[in-house]
Structure 1
Amino acid sequence: MHWTVPKPHSECKVVLDDGTYIVVRQHGNLSGPRLLMCHGNGLAIDLYYPFWSHFESDYEVLVYDLRNHGWNERTHENDHNIVSMVCDVDAILDETSKKFGAKPTFGIYHSLSALIALLYSSQIFSTILTRQNSGFDGLILFDPPVYPSGPGESSEEFDHAVQTATARTKKRTEHFESHAQFVELMNFLPAFSRLVPGATELMAQSILRKCKDGGYQLRCPREYEARLTRFARTFAGQINFDEPPHPIKVVGADPVLPSSYLLTVDLSDMISVDFDFVADATHYMQIEKPELCAWYADDFITKVSSANH
């Protein structure tokens, strides 16, 4: 199986507070409801094409990469942090509304970008955001790295998972002679054994950058990726799901399977959150069972949209 990400209808360069920019790409049905999508730490949104391709016929699909990932240029490591990325969401919503017109927008986020979307929608950073946009009409979040922070709750297990993931990231191979070498390694790793056919080749195209002196390197340096994982620990327990500003759908990985990143949190007891998990799927569920994950998102959007009319 070979995946080819189509050329976008249009691009929107969103200038950030440090003078660099994020490239938002417009795909899909321009007359449909708007989806804004982003990816997990160290990855790139083009890797998720097996998932977001399911929305192209019915939705306007806006996709973007976190700063220092994917299509975006590398910037200083000091600016690679959660607070900056929350502000980036604000800038992206502002600029895409200006360029493509304002319309109802649902955010679809995975992993660390899901935490960033939750922080954006919370009141935690309200004093530093311009919010010159309508925000989200709803969020669909896949395996967000959060944990309950109420009385009697402990972060010990989550802290251990963060330490393990950070140490593993720092040891990651960062230079490859060819795409083929990268694909061979990814196909060997148990964490990626459930990906759809052709996904590791798509991963090579999406997260590697050609080096001037030959070979390929990770677009997001491993030090940057580890830095974000450490930052996640600071904010993962600060999310208040009791009174969300808009409907939220959370889709978790199969809790029986070994964790591929941080812990899968069961939010089924949260009345304010629509929670499901995908059986026999890991943290990378959108690239393992893309059709089912797309169905969860589409079904939620349909229900929310119907309730609003």
Structure 2
Amino acid sequence: MKPETFTLEMNDGASIIARHYSKPGALRLFITHGNGFAVDGYRIFWEPLLADFDVVLYDMRNHGLNPSAGGDGHHYRQFSQDITTIYEGVTQRIGKAESIGIFHSMSSRSAMKNAVELGSPFDKLVLFDPPSVPPRGHALYEAMQSFEIKLINWATSRRDRFASPDELEAEYSAARASSKWLPQARADMAKAVLQPDPEGGFRLSCQRELEAVIYLQALSLDLWPSAEQLKVPALLVGADPDGDGAPPTGPANRALAQEGGYTYHGMKGTGHLLQIEQPERCRDVLYDFIAGR
């Protein structure tokens, strides 16, 4: 199945490429990704959904297929505005339908900010492991602070040029952080996050300094909303909250769910990239939420 592809203009002039896999009359899913990644890297999660849903895929600005928009708009305030602009642009293009926004990590936080401050355009939200940083003084604040600082340091020093996607795939295969990713996802993600470099070879689509600044912004976002504040039904799906070596996002999202009254599923045995570690289980949770189970 080939999608319809079109370009949407954001309110600051940035361009976002959207792809629509049409299934007339079906529930519509808008699907995007986390910081430094790209939606095609999540293919093993979303591709089976095409059989049952009308699906819109897009990369966040400065990621994936999108042209570079520079650093001026690379922040959570703009990301949250982009969500509404993208929804409205897609709806104008292909018509209105009942829609669920499916987000991961950075885009989950953007969707939460969008819902609280602008009013979500979606009928429901599914939030996969947002890097939920609790308020200062919370028992889990320091763990999340340390997590984000480690990611800042990693991002600013990461390799950003490659002779081919195979080199990045090999790095994913060797790294502990991506050891739980399914092998196909490592190959998909390596292709998805790279663009041809005019000087030869390939470069990261999302500049590493821009990736780092989002990790830094997570610490000052002041976003720990209750489910009621989102004003739309939302499912919070977190990484394993108890597993050895699991990221602190797992316990943080369990705490957010308990304190904020969310419909919540903590997925045992998973890390932060749970959609490409356990895609079938993630889809099962999505189907259950849609069915009200």
Please report the TM-score for the alignment, with normalisation by the length of structure 1: 0.87
1:307 matched residue in structure 2: none
Aligned length: 290
Partner Cα distance (1:53, 1:87) in 2: 27
Counterparts of residues 33-48 of structure 1 (less than 5 Å): 33-48=27-42
Partner Cα distance (1:178, 1:83) in 2: 34
How far apart are 1:252 and its partner, in Å? Answer: 0.8
**Per the alignment, do residues 274 and 303 of structure 1 end up closer, same or farther by CA in structure 2, a change over 3 Å counting?**
same
Partner Cα distance (1:261, 1:167) in 2: 17
Does residue 88 (structure 1) correspond to residue 74 (structure 2)? The answer is no
Q: 1:183 aligns with which of 151, 169, 180?
A: 169
**Per the alignment, do residues 78 and 268 of structure 1 end up closer, same or farther by CA in structure 2, a change over 3 Å counting?**
closer
1:66 matched residue in structure 2: 60
Partner Cα distance (1:257, 1:104) in 2: 39
Q: Which amino acid aligns with 2:5?
A: E
Identical counterparts, % of pairs: 29
How far apart are 1:153 and its partner, in Å? Answer: 5.3
Q: 1:165 aligns with which of 140, 151, 159?
A: 151
Mean alpha-carbon deviation: is it higher for 15-24 or for 284-293? 15-24
Partner Cα distance (2:248, 2:142) in 1: 16
1:7 matched residue in structure 2: 2
How far apart are 1:13 and its partner, in Å? Answer: 1.7
Q: 2:284 aligns with which of 290, 295, 306?
A: 295
Partner Cα distance (2:200, 2:245) in 1: 36
Partner Cα distance (1:286, 1:250) in 2: 13
RMSD: 2.1
Q: Give the SS at the match of 1:140.
A: strand
Q: Indicate if the aligned counterparts of 2:270 and 2:277 stay in contact, CA closer than 8 A.
A: yes
Counterparts of residues 1-309 of structure 1 (less than 5 Å): 7-8=2-3, 10-27=4-21, 29-123=23-117, 126=118, 135-149=121-135, 155-255=141-241, 256-259=243-246, 264-265=251-252, 266=254, 267-270=256-259, 272-303=261-292
Q: Which amino acid aligns with 2:283?
A: A
Partner Cα distance (2:199, 2:147) in 1: 36
Q: Indicate if the aligned counterparts of 1:145 and 1:236 stay in contact, CA closer than 8 A.
A: no
Partner Cα distance (1:152, 1:177) in 2: 45
CA deviations over 1:204-242 (Å, ceiling 9, x no partner)? 210011112211110001001001111122225342334
Partner Cα distance (1:261, 1:13) in 2: 36
CA deviations over 1:53-110 (Å, ceiling 9, x no partner)? 1211111011110000011001221221111111101101111111111111111100
Q: Give the SS at the match of 1:83.
A: helix
Partner Cα distance (2:286, 2:177) in 1: 24
Which runs of 5 or more structure 1 residues have no equivalent in the other structure?
1-5, 305-309
Which runs of 5 or more structure 2 residues have no equivalent in the other structure?
none
Q: Indicate if the aligned counterparts of 1:34 and 1:60 stay in contact, CA closer than 8 A.
A: yes
Q: Indicate if the aligned counterparts of 1:41 and 1:111 stay in contact, CA closer than 8 A.
A: yes
